[in-house]
Structure 1
C-alpha cells in the first residue's frame, strides 16, 4: 500500500468514499462537477493543504485531508487539522484506518507540527472510539456555523 498525494484522476474515488460511509460507491457513478473541480484545484495548489490517498494497485482504499495551520500557540509551531478520513466500507476492520492515520501523523511530525487535531461528527461513535484508540483525546468542544 502507498500513501500519496491525490491526483485529479483520484477525485472520483475520493468523492465515492465521501458519498456514503456504509457502502462501496462505484467511482464511475460519481459526477465530478465544476464545484468539485474548483475545490480540488484549490487544495492541490495550496502548500498548506494535502489530500492524501491510501492506494493498493489502482484502487483508492482510503483518504483524508490535512490542512497545516500556522499559529502562535505551541511556541509558533504549525498544527495539522485532519478531516474527511474515510476507508472503503468493504475494507474496514483490517487496520487500514490505523495505517492511514499513522502515516498522516508521521508526515505532520516530519513537517515539524506541534499538534494534530481533527473533527468528527458527533454521530460517528465508532470513529470516536477509533480516534481514542490512536491516542487522540477529547480536549475541546467544537462549534460550526453553516453559511
Structure 2
C-alpha cells in the first residue's frame, strides 16, 4: 500500500532492529530480539498485524494492532497497541499514513470499532488521535501481575 510519499507494508523479522529503533522514540526499551519474536508469532496470526512505513534505506514508522472479538456486541474491536514514528521524522504524515492503513485492515475484517490507548503524559499524541477522529470514551484500569 503506498501513498504519494510513503510505502506501508507488513513488518517482517528482518525489520526487527529498525522497529526497535522506532519504539525507542517512544521511550520503550524494546530489543530487536523481542521484536523479532513478536513478528514471528504475528506472521501466523490472522488477528495480529504489524505495519511499517518504509523508505528506500530505512523504516520511518511502525504500528501494531490486534483484532479482539467482543462478547457484548457484534463485530471485533481492533486495538492499536503501538504507533511510533522515528525521531526526527515526526509531522511528515507518517503517523497518519499508518493509522489509515491499520483502519483499512480493520474495515476489511469487518471490525465494529477501533481503540487506542495513550499515556496521560503524551499530550501531542492525544491531539493527533483526536485529529484522526478518535474520541475519549472510557477509562482504563490496569493491574500489574
TM-score range, shorter chain: 0.7 to 0.9
Structure 2 distance, partners of 1:136, 1:32, is 30
Q: Provide the residue aligned with 1:44 in structure 2.
A: 43
- The answer to which structure has the higher helix fraction is 1
1:11 aligns with 2:16: yes
* Greater Cα shift, 134-143 or 37-46: 37-46
Q: Note the residue ranges of structure 2 that are not aligned, 5 or more in a row.
A: 1-5
1:91 aligns with 2:96: no
* Greater Cα shift, 50-59 or 35-44: 35-44
**CA-CA distance at 1:144 after TM superposition:** 1.7
Aligned residue pairs, count: 138
Q: Residue 79 of structure 1: SS of its match in structure 2?
A: strand
Deviations 1:94-145 (A, max 9, x none): 2211111112112211211110001111111100010001110100111222
Deviations 1:70-116 (A, max 9, x none): 12333x20110002100112111122111111121122112111100
Tell me the TM-score normalised to structure 2 length: 0.86
Q: Provide the residue aligned with 1:32 in structure 2.
A: 32
**CA-CA distance at 1:36 after TM superposition:** 4.2
